[in-house]
């Protein structure tokens, strides 16, 4: 058993019933207080923990009553300050210790750590902690998280009686508990976020090093695309004043190969040597061609035989975890040639993309799903003009989707409900939510409602208030076209000068898509000078992102992913859909090391 410092929360039930005119009822059910006041400090190996009470007398709720979750999350929080004094990230658990003799059943008590909440009956039971001057019946892990090196984090804890509690179940009941915060060693933790952070070097430098990777013809097949040599394009790409070398050098700062011992060939004649991808003397991938008798037939303009390469050597970003910030706090994004971020959830294989600022874990489906065929981002049918709004995840909204007031689409157990003022769903939003109901409904309590960015802020060009054939370029266009300055902060959907758009913006969702900034930050950038063949979202098909590119009166364009980069196309194009969800911050795993053959398995 573990001994921990603690704070006490007392929930005392009083039986005052207020019967409403309608069939439902509510009633005053408890007074809640902390029995110890002031600030306590407890120092662990890497943690300084301060239990804080802002009013000096503890938090008190008189005449409490069963509450809806959205109201319970507005209750005054109990705050704990965690300061990580070490030079490495550290994980923690939030433990609720239930006093012996508490009579309110666990299934009627909601507990929230920051914005993640659950019934106490859904929390994970852990070893009962021994706490001085407190008779502890049971201990539960109600939340978990990570604190960056030399960082401080405020954890906010709230509790309320579940709105479904009947008068019989709630009247004259009591519940008393103490909260403890405990450090967890990353190697020993089953917390998914801890496993992620221990998997790679963490850096705040985005421009990490490149390395070279050598692939056989068979190994290179998944990466064969428009920017990589294929046998049928060999003569076409290499017949005119092409450099061939007998060796090469590699620059890990630029990711470029340079041929050595070169000669210029005017037509491909089967000479053995190294050829650079783009036909010049330097590039981001090179090919070794073995000597062959294949030749180009001038009479019919065809290769008489298929000429092949034996080895592909390409550039890749070294795998790291890039530390940056989003609107919710410190975020950690997996960048480069990461090969240990596989996770098994809901009987499907996913890839971990990042730990969000709120501690939730963003994952993307590893490949296309048969229940989600290629589709348009927005199929606008017969609408012939003013098509700007079709870059929006929703459009014709009567409210602006902003950081302060994000547009919400939450799952209510039987379907999705948009928040008030949200207009029409895009084609892709409707299909994703149908897929969620079919495939993820049973796992809904493990999936967080959190931020997604469909950035329709003004970047440059002509505003949509004066529809014309001149393009309005949105925020992501401006960032990624100017030095790939990707950013995880999501701007409000503001117009040039003033006012907000009635399409796109900031959303709180259960399911969505990655945006172009996220994809760029994980190493697959917009029109890069180096194409990373081993990026973990490298696919040989087009797949939609959530980021608008630009639009005018006649056309609307959205970013998509393809091979090792992002580009853009018409919103009515038919591209693949890779669903994105966010696992709760306190997600635990049962087994796995994150590799494709042994993925993390969510508990």
180-194, 228-242, 462-476 — which is least confidently predicted? 228-242
Mean pLDDT of 403-409: 95
97-106, 201-210, 385-394, 425-434 — which is least confidently predicted? 201-210
Mean pLDDT of 541-568: 93
Q: Over 90: is that where the pLDDT of 354 sits?
A: yes
Q: What is the pLDDT of residue 217?
A: 60
396-400, 414-418, 463-467, 597-601 — which is least confidently predicted? 463-467
Average of per-residue pLDDT values in the chain? 80
Tens digits of residue pLDDT in 189-217? 788 988 998 888 888 887 667 888 887 66
Q: Over 90: is that where the pLDDT of 58 sits?
A: no
Q: What is the pLDDT of residue 295?
A: 44
Contact between 53 and 62 under an 8 Å Cβ cutoff? The reply is no
Q: Where are the alpha helices (DSSP H) in 180-332?
A: 192-197, 217-220, 234-238
Q: What is the pLDDT of residue 282?
A: 66
For residue 438 the two structure tokens come to 């079919």
Rg (alpha carbons) of the chain, rounded to whole number: 28
Which one has a higher pLDDT value, 283 or 453? Answer: 453
* Contact residues for 203 (Cβ-Cβ < 8 A; gap 6+): 320, 321, 322, 323
Provide the 10 A C-beta neighbour count for residue 390: 26
For residue 187 the two structure tokens come to 């190697």
Contact between 576 and 557 under an 8 Å Cβ cutoff? The reply is no
Mean pLDDT of 22-29: 29
Q: Over 90: is that where the pLDDT of 177 sits?
A: no
Number of helical (H) and strand (E) elements in the chain, helices listed first: 8, 42
Tens digits of residue pLDDT in 63-92? 457 888 888 888 888 888 888 887 766 778
Distance CA 211, CA 337 (A): 10
Task: Name the maximum alpha-carbon separation found in the chain.
Answer: 97
Contact between 409 and 550 under an 8 Å Cβ cutoff? The reply is no
Q: Where along the chain do its domains lie?
A: 7-189, 210-317, 322-591
Q: Over 80: is that where the pLDDT of 222 sits?
A: no
DSSP states of 524-542 as a string?
--BS-SS--TT-TT-EEEE
23-37, 224-238, 240-254, 336-350 — which is least confidently predicted? 23-37
Place of tokens 């012996």: 100
- Integer CA distances (angstroms), 496 to 462, 515, 550, 555, in order: 9, 22, 14, 20
329-333, 505-509, 510-514 — which is least confidently predicted? 329-333
For residue 69 the two structure tokens come to 């979750």
DSSP states of 393-456 as a string?
SEES-SS-B-SSS-EEEEE-SSSEEEPTT--EEPHHHHHHHHHHHHHTGGGGGGB--EEEEE--
Q: What is the pLDDT of residue 457?
A: 97
If we measure between CA atoms, which residue out of 157, 106, 97, 92 comes closest to residue 127?
97
Residue 540's pLDDT band, with cuts at 50, 70 and 90, is: confident
Distance CA 389, CA 365 (A): 27
Residue 8's pLDDT band, with cuts at 50, 70 and 90, is: very low
71-85, 279-293, 421-435, 439-453 — which is least confidently predicted? 279-293
Tens digits of residue pLDDT in 264-311? 776 555 567 787 765 556 677 787 766 544 444 444 444 444 345 556
Q: What is the pLDDT of residue 592?
A: 96
Q: Where are the alpha helices (DSSP H) in 184-343?
A: 192-197, 217-220, 234-238
Q: Over 90: is that where the pLDDT of 459 sits?
A: yes
Contact between 525 and 480 under an 8 Å Cβ cutoff? The reply is yes
Give the chain's length. 603
Distance CA 322, CA 331 (A): 8
Q: Over 50: is that where the pLDDT of 240 sits?
A: yes
Tens digits of residue pLDDT in 90-115? 778 888 888 888 888 999 999 988 87
329-343, 457-471, 477-491 — which is least confidently predicted? 457-471
If we measure between CA atoms, which residue out of 461, 515, 469, 463 comes closest to residue 488?
515
Q: Over 50: is that where the pLDDT of 24 sits?
A: no
Q: What is the pLDDT of residue 266?
A: 62
Task: Give SS3 for 517.
Answer: helix
Q: Where are the alpha helices (DSSP H) in 457-585?
A: 475-480, 516-521
Tens digits of residue pLDDT in 30-46? 333 333 333 344 445 67
Mean pLDDT of 168-176: 80
Q: Over 80: is that where the pLDDT of 555 sits?
A: yes
Which one has a higher pLDDT value, 593 or 191? Answer: 593
User: Which DSSP symbol is given to 240?
Assistant: S
Contact between 41 and 49 under an 8 Å Cβ cutoff? The reply is yes
Q: What is the pLDDT of residue 59?
A: 45
Which one has a higher pLDDT value, 88 or 382? Answer: 382
The helix (run of H) or strand (run of E) holding residue 261 is strand 256-265
Q: What is the pLDDT of residue 461?
A: 93
């Amino acid at each position: 058993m573990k001994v921990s410092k603690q704070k006490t929360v007392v929930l005392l039930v009083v039986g005052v019933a207020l019967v409403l005119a309608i069939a439902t009822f509510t009633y005053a059910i408890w007074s809640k207080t902390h029995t110890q006041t002031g600030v306590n400090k407890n120092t662990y190996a890497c943690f300084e923990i301060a239990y804080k009470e802002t009013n000096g007398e503890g938090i008190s709720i008189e005449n409490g009553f069963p509450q809806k979750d959205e109201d319970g999350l507005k209750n005054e929080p109990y705050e704990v300050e965690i300061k990580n004094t070490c030079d490495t990230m550290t994980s923690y658990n939030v433990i609720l210790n239930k006093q012996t003799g508490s009579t309110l059943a666990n299934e009627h008590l909601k507990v929230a750590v920051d914005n993640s909440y659950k019934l106490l009956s859904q929390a994970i039971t852990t070893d009962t902690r021994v706490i001085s001057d407190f008779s502890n019946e049971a201990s539960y892990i109600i939340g978990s998280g990570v604190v960056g090196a030399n960082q401080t984090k405020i954890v906010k804890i709230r509790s309320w009686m579940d709105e479904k509690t009947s008068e019989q179940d709630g009247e004259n009941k009591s519940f008393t508990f103490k909260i403890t915060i405990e450090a967890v060693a990353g190697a020993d933790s089953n917390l998914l976020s801890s496993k992620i952070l221990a998997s790679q070097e963490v850096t705040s430098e985005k421009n990490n090093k490149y390395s070279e990777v050598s692939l056989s013809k068979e190994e290179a097949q998944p990466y064969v695309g428009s920017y990589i040599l294929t046998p049928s394009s060999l003569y076409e790409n290499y017949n005119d004043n092409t450099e061939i070398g007998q060796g090469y050098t590699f620059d890990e700062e630029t990711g470029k190969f340079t041929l050595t011992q070169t000669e210029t060939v005017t037509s491909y004649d089967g000479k053995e040597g190294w050829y650079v991808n783009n036909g010049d003397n330097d590039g981001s991938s090179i090919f070794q061609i073995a000597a062959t008798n294949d030749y180009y037939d001038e009479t019919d303009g065809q290769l008489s035989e298929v000429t092949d390469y034996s080895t592909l050597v390409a550039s890749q970003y070294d795998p790291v975890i890039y530390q940056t910030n989003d609107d919710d706090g410190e975020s950690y994004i997996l960048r480069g040639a990461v090969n240990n971020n596989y996770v098994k959830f809901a009987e499907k294989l996913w890839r971990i993309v990042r730990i969000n600022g709120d501690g939730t874990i963003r994952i993307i489906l590893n490949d296309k799903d048969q229940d989600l065929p290629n589709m348009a981002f927005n199929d606008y049918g017969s609408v012939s003009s003013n098509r700007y709004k079709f870059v929006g995840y929703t459009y014709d909204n009567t409210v602006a989707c902003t950081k302060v007031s994000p547009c919400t689409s939450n799952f209510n157990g039987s379907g999705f409900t948009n928040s008030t003022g949200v207009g029409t769903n895009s084609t892709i939003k409707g299909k994703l939510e149908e897929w969620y109901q079919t495939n993820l409904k049973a796992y809904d309590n493990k999936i967080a409602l959190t931020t997604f960015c469909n950035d329709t802020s003004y970047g440059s060009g002509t505003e949509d208030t004066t529809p014309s054939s001149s393009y309005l370029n949105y925020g992501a266009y401006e960032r990624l076209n100017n030095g790939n300055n990707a950013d995880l902060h999501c701007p409000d959907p503001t117009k040039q000068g003033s006012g907000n758009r009635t399409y796109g913006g900031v959303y709180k969702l259960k399911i969505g898509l990655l945006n172009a900034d996220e994809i760029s930050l994980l190493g697959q950038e917009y029109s890069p000078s180096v194409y990373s063949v081993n990026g973990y979202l490298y696919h040989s098909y087009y797949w939609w992102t959530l980021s608008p590119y630009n639009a005018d009166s006649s056309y609307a364009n959205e970013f998509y992913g393809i091979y090792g980069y992002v580009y853009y196309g018409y919103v009515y194009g038919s591209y693949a859909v890779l669903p994105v969800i966010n696992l709760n911050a306190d997600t635990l795993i049962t087994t796995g090391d994150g590799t494709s053959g042994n993925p993390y398995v969510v508990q």
